[in-house]
Amino acid sequence: MRDVKAIVLRAAGINCDLETQHAFELAGAEADRVHINRIIEDKSLLDNYQILVIPGGFSYGDDVAAGKILANQIKHHLYEQVRKFIDAGKLVLGICNGFQVLVKTGILPFPETTGQAVTVTYNDSNKFEDRWVYLAPVTERCVFIEKGRQIYLPIAHGEGKVVTKDQQTLEKLKADGFIAFKYVDENGNEGDYPINPNGSFESIAGLTDSTGRVLGLMPHPERHVRFTQHPRWTRLKTQDHRPQTTDAPSVSSGQGDGITIFNNAVKYAQANL
């Protein structure tokens, strides 16, 4: 199978680029951290990669609004290149701040429409939320997701509440499979805070687009790629904290839940790109 290359975007304030690079390397890809200014200077750089990643952090200090400045850079300098990247069948992943960037550029969830349909704003708790959450996959379209597998990941954000511009937009997200993940409890049920840690409409934790090759999510999969990163790993011993599919990462494998997203991306790229 061909080698897969991921480009991990860097900018002032981004601070999860090394962990994201490591996660893709664990999944078998070659990953490069590249500053956005280098890509603006030479837009052909994107042609060398099959996966584009906007990692977490606080790009440009989240001045104005979380991810807004980086979103404007992409919108005014790289939007057409990113659209061509996606149209070529390639993958885009936005984590936390990267998710905020994707919705504020309009790349998620409906790039074919004019204007921004979704945003990510301040948590209902009015404070920074740093905790672990359960996520249930909702759509079957997204190539990053393992069907039916509930996962456990950490969040770390002050602006994670997903809201839509109107009820019609929310209904479209629900009806047409744009919701990638929802916040749930350990039994897979939606609930109020802290199960839904930020007050997101419909407990939305992540979104995909119509192709299923773009994923944005607030929780951090790159922070749970090894089993020992689980907050209760010493107590779990040989039993995981929830049911698994047959080939899911387990205690014995030494892998954490987050690696599934990176593994699936690399496998897809190897098979299709």
Identify the CA nearest to 99 among candidates 271, 18, 217, 209.
Answer: 217
Q: How far apart are the first and last CA of the chain?
A: 10
Please give the full DSSP string across 217-233, using - where no structure is assigned. Answer: ESS-GGG-SBGGGSTTH
DSSP annotation of 69 = H
DSSP annotation of 135 = E
DSSP annotation of 229 = G
Copy the structure tokens of residue 2: 């061909």
Distance separating alpha carbons of residues 170 and 180, to the nearest angstrom? 13
Distance separating alpha carbons of residues 99 and 156, to the nearest angstrom? 13
Q: Are 183 and 195 within 8 A, CB to CB?
A: yes
- As beta bridge partners, residue 179 has 207
Cis peptide before 219 (omega within 30 of 0): no
**Could you list the active site residues?**
96, 220, 222
